[in-house]
Structures are given as C-alpha cells and as structure tokens.
Amino acid sequence: MRVEPPWECEMPSEYPVPKTRATLTVGDSGKFTKVITEADVFKFADASGDHNPLHIDEEYARRSVFGRRVAHGILVSGIISTVLGSELPGLGTIFVELHIQFLKPVFIGDTVTATAYVMEIINPKRVRLLVACVNDRGEDVAIGNAVVVPPAETRLV
C-alpha cells in the first residue's frame, strides 16, 4: 500500500524500469537534474539539524569566503541518491557506500546534474559506480564512487 506523506511532496507518476543484477553492465549510466532552491536548503537544515549560518543566514554568508549562502554538501549528494534509486539501477536499489569529494560550492538557484556510471560489477550483489555532480555553469562540484546492491528482479510496485 502506497502511503502518502503528510507534507507536500512531488511523487513521480511513473518510474523507469530498473536495471537488475542480471541486466547491469559496465558503462551503463543514468542522470538526474535538480534546481537547488532556498526551500530545499531550509527544509534540509530542519530535517538534519544543520543550521550552519553559511546555509541559512545571508548576511553571515556574505562575509564568508563564498560571498553568499551555499547548499549543504550532503543535500547535493542526495541528488546522487536520486540517480541510484530512480534511474540506475533504479527502484529497489540499496545504497550501501559513498565516497565523495566536494570540489566547488553549490549556491541557491544552481541547477545540479548528478550522473552515475557503472564502473565495476564487484560480485552478483554489489556494483560500484562513478558518481559526479555538475552545476549549470559546467563546473564539477562533486565526484566520488558509490556501491549499491541492485535489485534481484524487476518490480515496479
């Protein structure tokens, strides 16, 4: 039974058919693009408890090395989770490991595209992917690798 969240949430009307352990191959890729909004930053600050003024206080952030507010790094890495859980491999994927390096700040209003590439089939139950995020200026903002357990079979619901 699908549970509706008690808050406003954009739920996709349909999902791509997930790749499975049997159908994933080295070189497969997926991506997801999102505009980072002020609402995203404030909601993440509340959800995580991370109220660092670099994220939520414009005056404080203006005096920082960045000159304006920046999105939480983990909020940005959440876009990677979206790629893995909805695009590649897709629904039913279990995200078990992430190693990431943040290269540049992401600012409110930036459009970030996260991409994942299958690098290695570690064993039938584990897959390593190269993951990267790029902003709308073409700058790499994060890069790393992730390990997932892809779904054993294709199930959309």
**pLDDT confidence of residue 153:** 75
Token pair for residue 73? Answer: 């790094």
- The mean pLDDT of 87-95, rounded to a whole number, is 89
- For a pLDDT cut of 90, what percent of the chain falls above it? 74
What's the whole-number average pLDDT of the chain?
89
Q: What's the pTM value of the predicted model, to 2 decimals?
A: 0.85
Please compute the mean of the pLDDT values over residues 88-102 and round it to a whole number.
Answer: 93
CB burial of residue 21 (10 Å; 0-12, 13-18, 19+): middle
**What is the mean predicted confidence (pLDDT) over 128-153?**
95
**CA nearest to 36, candidates 142, 151, 149, 146:** 142
Give percent above pLDDT 70 in the chain: 87
